[in-house]
Amino acid sequence: MSRPDTPQDGLLERSRALLIRTMTFYRDDPRTSAWLRGRLERLEQPLRIAVSGRVKSGKSTLINALVGQHLAPTDAEESTQVNTFYQYGPEPRITVHTPHGAVQNVPVTTLDPSTIRDLQRWRPDEVSRLVIEAPAPGLQAITLLETPGVSSSAMQDTGRSALAQILSEADALLYLTRYPQQTDVQFLQSVHELQLARRAPINTIITFSRADEMGNGGSGAVAAAERIALRFRDEPAVRSFTQYAIPVIGLLGQAAATFTEADLAALVALRQLPEKALETLLLSSDRFSNNPTPESVPPSVRQDLMNRFGRFGLAQAFTALGEGITDHKRLSATLLEASRLNDLQEAVHQQFIERQDALRARSVLLAVDMVLRANPRPGVQQLRGEFERLLSNAPEWEEMRLLSALQSGQLSFPRPLQNDARRLLGSHGPGAAARLGQEPDTLESILADEAGAALARWRDQAVNPLHDRAHRDAVRVVLRSCERLIASRVQP
């Protein structure tokens, strides 16, 4: 007998039903109903994740690393000015959308960064979005949306409404920063304060990008990035809206994903230099790329390696080769590991993909809210009533809010209870087994016993006289999660 693994009570289904009712209500208004229909269709499409951050924070590079293909143009000079969607499609395809709603196909047979770069040069008042479809396996579960850099001229021209618009297009946010500044905090705060955000938080992961450049760019760079990430996560202004702050080297992730046999041959040839000579060569990017020797690997090849791997990545590759990892596949896996992209992917999976029902429901509610506000009419009260019920009563939001308070340290229980609460609220994934600290294929009877034991533990806490009001409220939320876990075990 199969049972739902997630203790859901149909939040997404109820939100979908509300969206359909709203569509019917506005059926005499073709623009609004077409817009809502688009929202409905999105429920059948992969989850949308916005990739935002300041100019040159490494957004395009990270997108390539996640997609596993060099698709997005990455540039030291020009910036991405136009919202660009990277989504799955069986054939390569590019469509250009104008702010007035016109859609045009750009004929392409293959996709390459330079074609996309040319299209991204349009101004935001000429092109509102580019949609790149690629047959890339990395895009089957998620669509990635690169926004122009926060505080870039494109963002400043269109301002806050552009921000609201983008966030209404995305179900979750991956925010990149190299070193957090006031602009980052302000952006994240305004995301949080936008309509709905407080009650149905958008899920955010903060990525400390270009982590290999931290400090002096030496072997301790990633550890330094990790320290900054932890400090940032503990800042009062930040900690309520993010549970994840992860250092990542997008460049190395991208290089590992596009690593060729020719790259391997060049790296092996360089590794054969005397140790001192290799060390000297790696002292600066310039020397590595332009030194007349070794002739066995010409400067143009060295330059390409430096651009794609960075100094840190090359040092990692040489260390791995020295340890005998000379096989193409194993070396590529080792570099991927060093890039920390795996950690980010795991976070994306846990926080976004496993919670996609709640995230999609949030997007639907946001859409309904936008329509009801923009087009108020007699008779919308009923729709608004259902909207309010979905927003106030859904346990998913309650869990997410408490989880973020616990993760950020705004609220804490003594240690074992703290971890227990976080797990039961879904910090390790929303499935029953993950919440109960069990392996995914655990027997139902064991899950039921564990759920019963969790309920008993938290009932004891409910009568613990030492808890203040905030803690008693938190205990009630955890108790409700335990009850839903039990309810989903006994349903036929």
Ligand X SMILES: Nc1nc2c(ncn2[C@@H]2O[C@H](COP(=O)(O)OP(=O)(O)OP(=O)(O)O)[C@@H](O)[C@H]2O)c(=O)[nH]1
Q: State the minimum distance, in angstroms, from the CB of residue 136 to ligand X.
A: 17
Which of 59, 210 has the CB closer to Mg ion? 59
Q: What minimum distance in Å lies between the beta carbon of 203 and ligand X?
A: 21
For ligand X, give the closer residue by CB, 248 or 402.
248
Residue 240 has phi, psi (to 5 degrees) of -75, -20
Residue 463, SS3?
coil
Shortest Cβ distance from residue 229 to ligand X (Å)? 14
- Binding partner of 247, given ligand X, Mg ion, none, CB within 5-8 angstroms per partner class: none
- CA distances to 57, 73, 108, 170 from 77, in Å: 12, 11, 25, 27
CB of 35 or CB of 179, closer to ligand X: 179
Taking CB under 5 A as the criterion, the residue among 15, 32, 57, 60 binding Mg ion is 60
| Residue found under tokens 């293909």 | 69
Question: From the list Mg ion, ligand X, none, which binds 242 (C-beta under 5 to 8 Å, kind-based)?
Answer: none
Query: How far is the C-alpha of 43 from the C-alpha of 137, rounded, in Å?
Result: 20
Structure tokens at 180: 């957090």
| Phi, psi for residue 209 in degrees, rounded to 5 | -85, 165
Provide the minimum distance between the beta carbon of 171 and ligand X in the complex, in angstroms, as a whole number: 21
Residue 131 site contact among Mg ion, ligand X, none (CB < 5 to 8 Å, cut-off depends on kind): none
Both structure tokens of 250 = 């997008």
How many Å from the N-terminal Cα to the C-terminal Cα in the chain? 8
- From the list Mg ion, ligand X, none, partner contacted by residue 203 (C-beta under 5 to 8 A by kind): none
57 binds, among ligand X, Mg ion, none (CB under 5 to 8 A by kind): ligand X
Output 74 or 334, the one with its CB closest to ligand X: 74
Instruction: Tell the smallest beta-carbon distance from residue 49 to ligand X (Å).
Output: 15
d(CA 452, CA 485): 9
**Partner whose binding site includes residue 58, from Mg ion, ligand X, none (CB under 5 to 8 Å by kind):** ligand X
Report the residue number, 94 or 338, with the smaller CB distance to Mg ion. 94
DSSP state of 217: S
For the bound state, the minimum distance from the C-beta of residue 108 to ligand X, rounded and expressed in Å, comes to 21
Q: Do residues 243 and 232 touch, judged by C-beta distance below 8 A?
A: no
Q: Using CB distances below 5 to 8 A depending on partner kind, what does residue 432 bind out of ligand X, Mg ion, none?
A: none
Minimum CB separation of residue 212 from ligand X in Å reads 5
CB 273 within 8 A of CB 281: yes
Question: Residue 149's binding partner, choosing from Mg ion, ligand X, none, with beta-carbon cut-off 5 to 8 A by kind?
Answer: ligand X
> In angstroms, what is the minimal distance from the CB of 135 to ligand X?
22
Nearer to ligand X, 76 or 102 (CB): 76
| Out of 32, 57, 64, 80, the residue judged to bind Mg ion by CB under 5 A | 80
Least distance (Å) between residue 76 CB and ligand X:
4
Neighbours of 466 (CB within 10 A): 7
- CA angle, residues 26, 162, 204, in degrees to nearest 5: 95
State the Rg of the chain over Cα: 25
Q: Which does 363 bind (CB under 5 to 8 A by kind): Mg ion, ligand X, none?
A: none
With H, G, I as helix, E, B as strand and everything else as coil, classify residue 95. strand
Nearer to ligand X (CB atom), residue 6 or residue 177: 177
Touching Mg ion, residues 98-127 (CB under 5 A): none
Closest among 432, 427, 435 to 244, alpha carbons compared: 427
Residues that bind ligand X (CB under 6 A): 53, 55-61, 74-76, 79-80, 149, 209-210, 212-213, 249-251, 310
In the complex with ligand X, the residue whose CB is nearer, 58 or 426, is: 58
Q: Is 61 in the site for Mg ion (CB under 5 A)?
A: no
- DSSP SS3 for 214: coil
H-helix segments, 323-413: 328-339, 341-347, 356-374, 381-393, 395-408
54 versus 59: smaller Cβ distance to Mg ion: 59
Q: Which does residue 55 touch among Mg ion, ligand X, none (CB within 5 to 8 A, set by kind)?
A: ligand X
Summary count for the chain: helices (H), strands (E): 22, 9
Residues 204 and 347: their CA atoms lie apart, in Å, by 10
**Torsions phi, psi of 86, nearest 5?**
-115, 110
Q: Decide whether 22 or 254 has the Cβ nearer to ligand X.
A: 254
> Measured from the CB of residue 176, what is the shortest distance to Mg ion in angstroms?
10
CA distance 23 to 217: 54
> Which residues sit at the interface with Mg ion, rule CB under 5 A?
59-60, 80
